[in-house]
């Protein structure tokens, strides 16, 4: 079993906890209260800005074979994912410019930026976000919400292109070869941050 396969096995029950979270369940049904999603959008927008910085910090350390992937991920996050947030924020009335990080967002971004000081460990730390959202998107797309705004959110993370980026990160983790115990610990910590992030302020 490769390291990334081990992380997937570790992550499946932790992913189930996200699927059962009231915020995710509300998105899945399409009836999540708008103020909750508005707050989530603001927090995730701030998170993604730092997520781009994490990719940039890792790119500085990356082997040549990984450099283009990290640049592509930073570009995709900054232009595609943040564009979705801006579009949805306009529809939900979110205040992206005035948003302030809540405790969960601040703790998660600090964890990722610190972990990115080590290349392989940084990849393992950020993988819960990529793998988690790709998995959530795929699962929720099996019975997507009728509400068009929540459907757009699901479609973004169910996109095959996003799944392909996730697969590539898994390959890069295996190629980087971080200490398996340390990688698993960071992955678990990242998954815990992912779950906590759904408790929007």
In terms of pLDDT, which residue wins out, 130 or 88?
Answer: 130
Residue pair 54/126 in contact (Cβ under 8 Å)? The answer is: yes
| 156-196 per-position pLDDT tens digit | 999 999 899 999 999 999 999 999 999 999 999 999 999 99
Mean pLDDT for 133-159 is 96
- Token pair, residue 39, equals 């707050």
pLDDT at residue 83, rounded to an integer: 86
pTM above 0.85, yes or no: yes
Mean pLDDT of the chain: 95
CATH number at residue 32: 1.20.910.10
Rounded distance between C-alpha atoms, residue 9 and residue 58, angstroms = 25
**Lookup result for tokens 């708008």:** 34
- The per-residue pLDDT for 38 is 95
Give the single-character DSSP code of 20: T
Residue 96: its pLDDT value, please?
93
Q: HSE (CB half, 13 Å, CA atoms) of 87?
A: 12
Tell me the mean pLDDT in the region 125-144: 97
Predicted pLDDT at 176: 98
Count of residues making up the chain: 201
Count of structural domains within the chain: 1
Angle at 199 between CA 54 and CA 38, to 5 degrees: 80
If phi over 0 gives left and psi between -120 and 50 gives alpha, with beta otherwise, what is residue 177? left
The stretch 125-142 carries a mean pLDDT of: 97
Q: Is the pLDDT of residue 201 over 80?
A: no
CB under 8 A, 24+ apart: contacts of 86-90: 86/45, 87/152, 88/41, 88/149, 88/152, 88/153, 89/38, 89/41, 89/42, 89/45
Domain limits at 66? 3-198
Cα distance between residue 21 and residue 1, in whole Å: 30
pLDDT tens for residues 68-125?
999 999 998 998 888 888 888 889 999 999 999 999 999 999 999 999 999 999 999 9
């Amino acid at each position: 079993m490769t390291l990334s396969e081990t992380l997937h096995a570790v992550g499946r029950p932790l992913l189930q906890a996200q699927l059962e979270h009231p915020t995710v369940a509300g998105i899945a049904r399409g009836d999540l209260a708008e103020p909750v999603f508005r707050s989530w959008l603001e927090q995730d927008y701030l998170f993604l800005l730092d997520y781009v910085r994490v990719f940039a910090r890792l790119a500085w350390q990356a082997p040549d074979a990984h450099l283009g992937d990290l640049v592509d991920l930073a570009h995709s996050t900054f232009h595609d994912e943040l564009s979705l947030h801006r579009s949805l924020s306009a529809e939900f009335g979110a205040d992206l410019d005035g948003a302030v990080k809540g405790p969960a967002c601040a703790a998660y971004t600090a964890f990722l930026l610190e972990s990115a000081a080590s290349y392989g460990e940084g990849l393992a730390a950020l993988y819960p976000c990529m793998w988690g959202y790709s998995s959530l998107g795929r699962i929720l797309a099996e019975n997507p919400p009728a509400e068009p705004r929540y459907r757009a959110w699901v479609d973004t993370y169910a996109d095959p292109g996003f799944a392909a980026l996730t697969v590539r990160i898994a390959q890069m983790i295996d190629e980087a070869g971080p200490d398996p115990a340390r990688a698993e610990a960071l992955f678990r910590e990242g998954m815990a941050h992912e779950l906590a992030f759904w408790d929007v302020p």
